[in-house]
Amino acid sequence: MYLIVGLGNPTREYDRTRHNVGFDTLDVLAEELNTSIGENKFKGCCAKGVIGGEKVILLKPQTFMNLSGESVRAAADFYKIDPEHIIVIYDDISLEVGQLRIRSKGSAGGHNGIKNIIAHLGTQEFPRIKVGVGAKPPRMDLADYVLSRFSAEDRVKMEEAFKEAVQAVQVMITEGDQAAMNRFNGHKEQ
């Protein structure tokens, strides 16, 4: 069984912001799996599906980004899912808009949602899909930037990135992290 977590902030105010690309990707995945993320459990909204014969739980923590680990830990404990079967999808400002980077483990890299998940799971050993949202403009506050929305042009790139991230999730589950890294990392780099 896999737990697929999309990070973001709840409430309409944060819809479609850079920080909510994890939520957006999970919506695309839910559609692909013909399910909807509506059940309120584990301080989040969740749904169940199957990818490549494996049961999957889709989870959007509703704790706000900086406390995402509370929701992830509750779901992982309930379903007895090991960290290496928890795939976390989130925004990354060090990647170009729409670029993906898949890792099987690693530090938080300054991302507060990931920092909190690491703290709650007690390990960095969980796979993740970073979705590029572009670099913060100089002199702009980081919080303001990640809570801002994409231009129409960039939104088109992001919609493609969400579909690609969904494919990456499927490859990670059916063929493994390394196959997904080989196929998706560095894609779209200039």
pLDDT at 186 (0 to 100)? 65
CA distance 63 to 10: 8
Q: Is the pLDDT of residue 189 over 70?
A: no
Classify residue 37 as exposed, middle or buried by CB count within 10 Å of its CB (0-12, 13-18, 19+): buried
- What the block records as the tokens of 171 is 């490859």
Which pLDDT band, with edges at 50, 70 and 90, does 39 fall under? confident
Q: Is the pLDDT of residue 188 over 90?
A: no
The model carries a pTM of 0.95
Integer-rounded Cα radius of gyration of the chain: 15
Q: Count CB neighbours of 24 within 10 A.
A: 23
Region 7-25 average pLDDT: 95
Please indicate whether residue 19 is annotated as part of the active site.
yes
Note the Cα 169 to chain centre separation in Å.
10
Name residues whose C-beta falls within 8 Å of residue 110's C-beta, 6 or more positions apart in sequence.
none
Region 55-64 average pLDDT: 97
Annotated ligand binding at 64? The verdict is yes
Closest CA to 56 of 158, 153, 172: 172
- What the block records as the tokens of 137 is 């403009």
Q: Is the pLDDT of residue 190 over 50?
A: no
Element (H, E) at 160: helix 152-174
Q: Which is the catalytic residue, given 19, 85, 111, 120? A: 19
Domain ranges of the chain: 2-184
At residue 9, the 3 state secondary structure works out as: coil
Q: Which long-range contacts (CB under 8 A, 24 or more apart) does 51-54 make?
A: 51/2, 51/169, 51/170, 51/173, 51/174, 52/170, 52/173, 52/174, 54/1, 54/2, 54/173, 54/174
CATH topology of domain 2-184: Rossmann fold (3.40.50)
Annotated ligand binding at 2? The verdict is no
Helix 21-32 and helix 152-174, axial crossing angle in degrees, nearest 10? 60
Q: Is the pLDDT of residue 179 over 70?
A: yes
Region 151-156 average pLDDT: 96
- What the block records as the tokens of 68 is 């995402």
